[in-house]
């Protein structure tokens, strides 16, 4: 898939998932299945929303000699979305603290660094 196609699909998915998330928040109560659906829709909405931003950041800051991988911005936006979903879940159970958020961000940064360096060594 081309970059333009990925961004277009991401924008459509983002609009649909944010609409689904709004419908879930405004028109349902909070049983277990609604909470699970909330976190799934939040993850999809954040991932799809952050894909165009990740493409821009990768185009702007990645070295010109580096091989282009269209999966990298999608993976990076999924990491950021997963960070926010885990933070939302921790806040829901009243366990979120700035130290926990910083450690979680550090873990995701280390994971992405591992994936980037693994690709360089090939």
| pLDDT tens profile 25-69 | 999 988 999 999 999 999 999 999 999 999 999 888 887 767 778
Please state, in angstroms and rounded to a whole number, the distance separating the CA atoms of residues 11 and 52: 8
* Residue 73: Cβ-neighbour burial (10 angstroms; 0-12, 13-18, 19+): buried
pLDDT at 23 over 90: yes
- Tell me what pLDDT residue 76 has: 94
pLDDT at 122 over 70: no
* The model's pTM: 0.89
Please state, in angstroms and rounded to a whole number, the distance separating the CA atoms of residues 12 and 116: 28
Tokens for 52? 């165009």
Please state, in angstroms and rounded to a whole number, the distance separating the CA atoms of residues 26 and 20: 10
For residue range 73-115, list pLDDT tens digits in order: 999 999 999 999 999 999 999 999 999 999 999 999 999 999 8
Strand, helix or coil for residue 30 = coil
The dihedral built from the CA positions of residue 65, 69, 74 and 79, taken in this order, carries a sign that is negative
In the DSSP assignment, the letter for residue 67 is: P
Contact 101, 87 (CB under 8 A): yes
- Tell me what pLDDT residue 121 has: 54
């Amino acid at each position: 898939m081309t970059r333009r196609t990925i961004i277009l699909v991401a924008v459509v998915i983002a609009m649909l998932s944010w609409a689904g998330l709004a419908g879930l928040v405004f028109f349902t109560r909070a049983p277990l299945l609604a909470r699970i659906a909330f976190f799934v829709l939040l993850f999809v909405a954040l991932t799809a929303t952050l894909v165009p931003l990740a493409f821009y950041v990768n185009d702007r800051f990645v070295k010109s000699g580096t091989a282009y991988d269209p999966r990298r911005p999608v993976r990076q936006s999924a990491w950021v979305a997963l960070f926010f979903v885990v933070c939302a879940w921790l806040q829901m159970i009243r366990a979120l603290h700035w130290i926990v958020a910083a450690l979680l961000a550090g873990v995701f940064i280390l994971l992405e660094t591992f994936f980037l360096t693994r690709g360089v060594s090939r």
